Amino acid sequence: MARISLVIPVYNEEACLRTLLDRLYALKSPAGDEYEYVFVDDGSRDQSLTILKEAASRNPAVKVLSLSRNFGHQVAITAGLDYASGDAVVIIDADLQDPPELIPQLAAKWQEGYDVVYARRMVRHGEGLLKRISASLFYRVLGSVASLNIPRNTGDFRLMSRRTVLALRQLRERNRFMRGLSTWIGFPQTCVEYERDPRASGETKYTLRKMVRLAVDAIVSFSWVPLRLSFYAGLIAIAICGLYFLAALCLWTFTTYVIPGWLSLATLIVLFGSMQLVTLGIMGEYVGRILDEVKARPLYFLRETANVAQQENSADMGATGKAAPAHHKPGASCQDG
């Protein structure tokens, strides 16, 4: 019999939480596994935290971590991993698009010896055509440019062994793409296929802007290709400019025709100026990440917790890997990963 921690990031999910709790409590493991529920409230502005604290007061297996503000989905997952104490950890969202009933199947694969068991979406119910096309395009681009093979059609819904979680705790980079980091570690991995359900209620919290941001983080964090592309674009621009110069020189030398200068000159200026701006933008993405890492700020702060024991603060790791010195209380400052 093993202990399995469920890490559940929450952001304004009051409409889903009670249904989610009922389905989580109803989970029965064929192997008799025990479940721990680690909810991470990522600065919700609705009644999500109140619902979670009520659940924690009735069930000691429910842990609640309330972040001091909205730090983002990937950081919320990281906070949950820092405090999960199970032999294995499952990451699952609160919107019920990923069925909790699949968790025993993930655990069965883990018992076979796999360290990471990710859930692969075969069908995506409740998602529009634009979302499906953009997701497919994202995974194709990422697969083409990334330095490692990140599985397609997968999200953060996955089970990870204890040693995988301990390895992830050592990776404290700021712009996080958790499904890429869990692949980068390199422990044995496999998948379980499923059909993704529509949201139980409410609206998606992943707006187009957030999805684009996540895509940029994924590509920039796991590939040097954008920088190489800007270099190749510069070489192409030099070749075009050289060909244009040779054509103009030949026409001026061997014919009486002179290439009109205003339009061609303006076109070249716009072309090369645009390429320079794009190149600077790509470099800025990498330089900005260097700046974030050099600051060495903690990934998050906790405002309050529920059912989190004093000794568990040893899991609360700062950006430098040093454990936070104090227990987290409402209104108190904290140091975290």
For residue range 257-298, what is the model confidence (pLDDT) as tens digits?
666 665 567 667 767 777 787 778 778 778 887 887 888 889
Provide the pLDDT for residue 73: 92
For residues 96 and 234, state if they share a domain: no
Is 329 within a domain?
Answer: no
Q: What is the mean pLDDT of the chain?
A: 80
d(CA 237, CA 1): 63
Q: Which domain holds residue 124?
A: 3-203+298-315
Provide the pLDDT for residue 267: 65
Nearest to 182 by CA among 255, 55, 77: 77
For residues 164 and 189, state if they share a domain: yes
- How many structural domains does the chain have? 2
Q: Between 219 and 84, whose confidence is greater?
A: 84
Instruction: Identify each DSSP E strand in 174-280 by its residue range.
Output: 189-196
Alpha carbon distance, N-terminus to C-terminus of the chain: 30
Give the distance, in angstroms, between the CA of residue 51 and the centroid of all CA atoms in the same chain: 26
For residues 54 and 184, state if they share a domain: yes
Is 131 within a domain?
Answer: yes
pLDDT per residue as tens digits for the range 93-143: 998 889 999 999 999 999 999 999 999 888 766 566 666 676 667 667 666
Question: Quick check: 307 and 63 in contact, CB under 8 A?
Answer: yes
Provide the pLDDT for residue 176: 87
Is 125 within a domain?
Answer: yes
- Where does the pLDDT of residue 320 fall: very low under 50, low under 70, confident under 90, or very high at 90 and above? very low
Is 115 within a domain?
Answer: yes
Tokens of 127: 């998602």
For residues 61 and 169, state if they share a domain: yes
Nearest to 87 by CA among 8, 179, 5: 5
Nearest to 327 by CA among 318, 20, 1, 312: 312
Percent of the chain surpassing pLDDT 70: 76
Is 331 within a domain?
Answer: no
The CATH code of the domain that includes 107 is 3.90.550.10
Is 88 within a domain?
Answer: yes
Query: For 44, what's the count of Cα atoms within 13 Å in the CB-facing half-sphere?
Result: 24
For residues 129 and 76, state if they share a domain: yes
For residues 99 and 111, state if they share a domain: yes
- Count the Cβ atoms, other than its own, within 10 Å of residue 170: 10
For residues 230 and 145, state if they share a domain: no
Is 216 within a domain?
Answer: no
Burial, 112: exposed, middle or buried (Cβ in 10 Å; 0-12, 13-18, 19+)? exposed
Provide the pLDDT for residue 164: 95
- Where does the pLDDT of residue 224 fall: very low under 50, low under 70, confident under 90, or very high at 90 and above? low
Q: Between 106 and 324, whose confidence is greater?
A: 106
For residues 115 and 15, state if they share a domain: yes
For residues 164 and 275, state if they share a domain: no
Is 7 within a domain?
Answer: yes
Provide the pLDDT for residue 215: 72
Q: For 56-73, what is the mean pLDDT? A: 95
Distances, alpha carbon 252 to alpha carbons 98, 246, 261, 264, 298, in Å: 68, 10, 13, 15, 64
For residues 240 and 276, state if they share a domain: yes
Question: Quick check: 175 and 217 in contact, CB under 8 A?
Answer: yes
Q: For 176-204, what is the mean pLDDT? A: 81
Can you give the pTM of this predicted structure?
A: 0.73
For residues 183 and 231, state if they share a domain: no
Provide the pLDDT for residue 1: 78
For residues 310 and 172, state if they share a domain: yes
